[in-house]
Structure 1
Amino acid sequence: MTKKKVVVIGAGGRDLHNFNIALKNNPEVEVVAFLFTQIPGIGSRRCPPAFTGEKYPGGIPIYSIDMLPNIVKTYGVEEVILSLSDLTYEELGKIISYVISVGCDFKILGLRSTMLDSVKPVIAVTATKTGAGKSTISRVIVKELMSRGIKAAVVRHPMVYGDIEQSLVQVFRSIEDLDKYKLTVEEREELEPHLELGVAVLLGVNYTKIILEAERIGDVILWDGGNNDWPFFRPWYWITVTDSMRPSIEVGTFPGEVNIRMSDAVIITKVSSASSDNTKRIVDNIRKINPSAHIVKAELAVKVDKPELVVRKRVIVVEDAPTVTHGNAPYGAGYIAAKKYNAEIVNPKKYAVGIFKNIYEQYPHIDSVVPSLGYTEEQLKHLEQMLNEIDADAVLIATPAKLDRILSINKPIVRVTWDLIVVEGPTIKDLMDEFLSRQGPKQI
């Protein structure tokens, strides 16, 4: 039997999971390459045999998405499987057109094909777009469960930016573990807050093994989503977070709209920063596609740990990189905090070096903030150089990662944090009551 030659488009997360679950042992297909996008500065490499298995003894090469036409010609590719999130429908349409124009069929694997079942209760937190406040909601849920004596094992959507072979199954229990595995800034941003609560976080590449370890560690499993992807584990209860500052993303992104349609509850964040018309429109959009979901209106109230270093001072604002890059937000909590405390925000663009010059060109909506880009040692070096060269009184850091642990910054550091305040609708406690009353996973 002739095997269908397939390419998988992704970003080192969903793509590897889909391969492991649906393609790795499929006798009818041969995956000839992975194509990565969304990860600045990550070049060509190879997915190792330790993960790809006996069918692929030499591993599988990883290339950039712009190499698709050459790969199709070289390998005779017939089908492209999209395993990527955080896309607007316009971006999704462009990828579909790109794939079809080089002569390939286009495919997306759905929920039933890619979800794993757990023997433990699973609660999933997903989003409609990066930067909506998903991680904050996850931490509040963990605290609520802890207050009830329930131990949660947090399983994070994969972020495979380093050595894939060393990332098959990773269990983090302390901040020191982050240094041991030499994690990127982007990974630290998601893991540090949970670890500071004393909660184990699991992630990696092989989620068929990760789910077993999570079941051993926790009374319940909390799926902490990445980008706006749907969960790898079939949830008993599903919460999606959307952002009132970006109305229409709840029905204008893929697979963000999938999450809205499937959710038991939708939390609309940053409502005090948006107009009432925007919030109403978001609620109406949610009601049209998921009339049974609980809707929670909430605020993410920002605060700083050293206000005396911010009030009427000149500050550099460092924001979570995914939020302001492929999340398409012009700014985040750092900018809001600077405005709240009447600080002068120093424009960093003229100080940009290395990859940061490319970032400001690629994402022109980023104007007055510095993305916390740190996928590689070189990027960290350029970030440190920028922050040290900018003439300012302080650095306002609005990423959960404590950058001073990995960078030598020559200015005072001010940390931005934010608290969830429910303005209208069920509280997190109410949602957890409903979750804990469930007797099994959602029907999909």
Structure 2
Amino acid sequence: MDERVIIMGAAGRDFHDFNVFFRDNSDYMVVAFTHSGDQNLGEVGGAEGREYPLELAGELYSSGIPIYDESGLSDLINELNVDKVFFSYSDVSHNKVMNIASKVLAAGASFSLLGPEDVMLDSNIPVLAIDAVRTGCGKSQLSIQFTRLLKEMDMDPVVVREPMPYGDLKKQRIQRFEKEEDLVGLTVEEREEYEQHLNEGNIVYSGEDYELILRKVEKEADLIIWEGGNNEIPFFRPDVHVVLADALRPGHEVSYHPGEVNFRLADYIVINKENSANKTDINTIKENKMKINPSAKLIHANSNVKVDNPSKIEDKRVLVVEDGPTLTHGERDQGIGEIAAEKYGAKKILDPRKNAVGSIKETLDKYEHIKNALPAIGYSKEQIRDLEKTINNSNCDLIISGTPINLKNIIKTNKKIINAKYTIKGINKPLNTIIKENIDKLIPK
């Protein structure tokens, strides 16, 4: 084996890249994975002490591949005689990517990125990919809207998600979710992605080995909806590629990795949340689109607030709970719950920091831009307990939940919960036009 490699990841694309490009490639020996500190893996002790199992590593490996915390990268390069470091995670600024590259180069190794052609798998059934330039742009809402339309057309779509392998990797090689009981034991972050699809009657696949997942899905469905986590590039080669940009984060479409890759690859670019943005910011995204992907079709869209019993919010002191990743590494300072509180006349939005405990307090201390929302963080049982205590400590009249899960499925509380959700709607043309304009590509041959 010629080159000794570290793969930098965050428990997701890194394992896919290994399986597809490195596992049977004798030109390389992967001597370690590193994981960023953005994921607290709780029950499995964080990154340290984990390994990519021998059972998944393939015939070229005689043992599992160790996983280390990214903070020790420079020392690892020297200790393990590493020739090359491959960067393999998403939703990070271009500035951060190059900061990491500089660290790698200074430690004496080369720095690399795998391209889509290296790691995209070819499907025998059509693939409609829904991606974004950042996390929290509205992928799930659009995916759900498309699954409804496809079912009305007597098609049988299955949703495939980027992995979130926070448990036993051997058991997570192929994951299939269809019923509520399939979600037992998952993290909050996993439930946020899967539960809303199950409520729609959609089957969702995820896991570790996407070659095996793809071949299994091909036997069950006649079309795949790829829903990329964060702003990830599709694992499957898309027949139609739809990418969402966020009108509230103008410029991010050309300053985050790999969101800009998606922006450049898109067949359709959907600028979402325009009803909450100003014209200058919308025009910034339009101008960037014309510069780097003029051939993509452009759709303008609104995200509208949908709330159960909105009249119950008026004059209440509320605690807002939001989708965790959107607030944390997605860098949003406001989510749908806070928007609903303001729209429907809440008397006061309570500061979650005053009652935060344990890992929830640590998260709020780390992400200082979060002001009036409690991120629903729960990578472990301990974190879920901290979330429960933080919520129950709050002297609120009710909770407005902007997370897509039913909070009462994971915590015990006697507080009243009102759910707030987004619905996405096209402005210049219906979003379903994307399906209708590409029906020949999406009907199985």
Q: Structure 2 length as normaliser, TM-score?
A: 0.96
| SS at structure 1 position matched to 2:270 | strand
1:73 equivalent to 2:78? Answer yes
Match in the other structure for 2:315: 312
Tell me if structure 1 keeps the 8 A contact 2:244–2:272. Answer: yes
Once the 2 structures are TM-superposed, how far is the Cα of residue 439 of structure 1 from its aligned partner? 7.7
Tell me if structure 1 keeps the 8 A contact 2:24–2:59. Answer: no
Unaligned ranges ≥5, structure 2: none
1:99 equivalent to 2:91? Answer no
> 2 CA distance for matches of 1:440 and 1:84?
32
Q: Which AA in structure 2 matches 1:281?
A: T
Q: Which AA in structure 2 matches 1:166?
A: K
> 1 CA distance for matches of 2:34 and 2:379?
18
Match in the other structure for 2:255: 252
> 1 CA distance for matches of 2:166 and 2:358?
19
Once the 2 structures are TM-superposed, how far is the Cα of residue 440 of structure 1 from its aligned partner? 9.9
1:395 equivalent to 2:399? Answer yes
> 1 CA distance for matches of 2:297 and 2:120?
24
1:296 equivalent to 2:295? Answer no
Q: Which AA in structure 2 matches 1:358?
A: E
Alpha-carbon distance change, 4 to 148 in structure 1, aligned in 2, over 3 angstroms? same
- 1:264-311 CA distance string (max 9 Å, x none): 101111101110111111111111111111111111111211223311
Once the 2 structures are TM-superposed, how far is the Cα of residue 438 of structure 1 from its aligned partner? 2.2
> 1 CA distance for matches of 2:191 and 2:217?
20
1:213 equivalent to 2:255? Answer no
2:363 to 359, 363, 369: 359
Aligned 1:140-159 pairs, distance under 5 A: 140-159=145-164
> 2 CA distance for matches of 1:97 and 1:417?
41
Alpha-carbon distance change, 357 to 439 in structure 1, aligned in 2, over 3 angstroms? closer
Q: Which AA in structure 2 matches 1:185?
A: V
Unaligned ranges ≥5, structure 1: none
2:426 to 417, 422, 430: 422
Match in the other structure for 1:265: 268
> After the TM superposition, which segments of 4 or more aligned residues of structure 1 sit over 4 Å from their partners?
none
Aligned 1:41-440 pairs, distance under 5 A: 41=41, 42-44=46-48, 45-179=50-184, 182-343=185-346, 344-424=348-428, 426-438=429-441
In terms of mean alpha carbon deviation, does 378-387 or 137-146 score higher? 137-146
| SS at structure 2 position matched to 1:165 | coil
How much is the aligned-residue C-alpha RMSD, in angstroms? 1.4
> 1 CA distance for matches of 2:281 and 2:438?
29
Once the 2 structures are TM-superposed, how far is the Cα of residue 435 of structure 1 from its aligned partner? 2.5
Q: Which AA in structure 2 matches 1:18?
A: D
Tell me if structure 2 keeps the 8 A contact 1:80–1:106. Answer: yes
Count of aligned residue pairs for this structure pair: 437
| SS at structure 2 position matched to 1:126 | strand
Alpha-carbon distance change, 29 to 220 in structure 1, aligned in 2, over 3 angstroms? same
1:21 equivalent to 2:24? Answer no
Q: Structure 1 length as normaliser, TM-score?
A: 0.96
